[in-house]
Amino acid sequence: MTIAVIDYGMGNLRSVSKALEHVADSEAVVVTADPAVVAAAERVVFPGQGAMPDCMRELDARNLREAVLAAAKNKPFLGICVGEQMLFERSEEGDVAGLGVFPGVVRRFPEAQMVDASGARLKVPHMGWNEVRQAPHALWSGIADGSRFYFVHSYCVQTITPGLTTGTTVYGLPFTCAVGRDNIFAVQFHPEKSARDGLQLLKNFVEWRP
């Protein structure tokens, strides 16, 4: 029973692994860049930080693309932040191709729509705690609809696809902040930084039998 946190050299994975250890058997959590370890794991967590073109390049530089795609086919798989964005077809950030697991494009928050109801300017990056409107999914178990999670990002998936979108957030415009299909769940926010509700989501993932 191994939970592999995929390490392709983009940023700090300590928070992700420590949060998983907090809700799972700590022996089970491994941070790894080894495709064989990913292939052997029971569950896979795919985090991501920084710019998506760098993330894609580093993933390929470590020969992890196939291992990620294989894991996304058949085992409980959790994408986080840029790890969520990379599952889509393309990103405007550096105009780079993603892994194409899900249809859709990752776009920058559009300048023209970055105003709130009172006309005040909305800052980018979208940084802080925002409400997530849930669509029914096992990973929301024990988390109230509308609970807040911690976000920090400037790009997002702006199309909302019924049957794929499992969570939406509004920041200037509504966007998809969680997606789920079969064995895959992926979130734009950071569950590992989202206090109790974030830990609950990770616990749900660890116990998930899709």
Partner 1 sequence: MLAKRIIPCLDVTAGRVVKGTNFVGLRDAGDPIEIARRYNEQGADEVTFLDITASSDQRDIILHIVEACAEQVFIPLTVGGGVRKVEDVRRLLNAGADKVSMNTAAVQNPDLVFDASSKVGSQCIVVAIDAKQVAPGKWHVFTHGGRNDTGLDAIEWAKKVEALGAGEILLTSMDRDGTKNGFDLPLTRGVSDAVGIPVIASGGVGNLQHLADGVSEGRADAVLAASIFHFGEYTVRQAKEYMAARGIEVRL
183 backbone dihedrals φ, ψ, rounded to 5°: -90, 5
Closer CB to partner 1, 22 or 73, in the complex: 22
Residue 74 beta carbon to partner 1: minimum distance, rounded to whole angstroms: 29
81 noted as active-site residue: yes
Q: Does position 73 bind partner 1 by CB under 8 A?
A: no
Binding segment toward partner 1, per CB under 8 A, in 1-9, 34-42, 158-166, 193-201? 193-201
The DSSP letter of residue 146 is T
Q: Does position 150 bind partner 1 by CB under 8 A?
A: yes
Catalytic residue among 111, 126, 192, 207: 192
The helix (H) or strand (E) run that includes residue 18 is helix 14-23
Pick one of 28, 31, 62, 130: the residue that binds partner 1 (CB under 8 A): 130
Binding segment toward partner 1, per CB under 8 A, in 49-57, 72-80, 84-92, 180-188? 49-57
Please give the Cα distance from 173 to 136 (Å, whole number).
Answer: 22
In order, the DSSP letters of 49-81 are -S-HHHHHHHHHHTT-HHHHHHHHHHS-EEEET
Q: Does position 122 bind partner 1 by CB under 8 A?
A: yes
Task: Retrieve residue 172's tokens.
Answer: 């200037």
Binding segment toward partner 1, per CB under 8 A, in 63-71, 129-137, 155-163, 181-189? 129-137
Collapsed DSSP state (helix, strand, coil) of residue 139 = helix
Binding segment toward partner 1, per CB under 8 A, in 38-46, 60-68, 136-144, 190-198? 190-198
44 with 75: CB under 8 angstroms? yes
Q: What angle do CA 126, 102, 194 make, to 5 degrees?
A: 35
46 with 64: CB under 8 angstroms? no
Q: Does position 152 bind partner 1 by CB under 8 A?
A: yes
Catalytic residue among 55, 81, 156, 177: 81
Put residue 47 in one of left, alpha, beta given phi > 0 → left and psi -120 to 50 → alpha. Answer: beta
Q: Does position 14 bind partner 1 by CB under 8 A?
A: yes
Binding interface with partner 1 (CB under 8 A): 11-12, 14-15, 18-19, 21-22, 49-51, 116, 120-131, 148, 150-154, 170-171, 190, 192-195, 198-199
Catalytic residues: 81, 190, 192
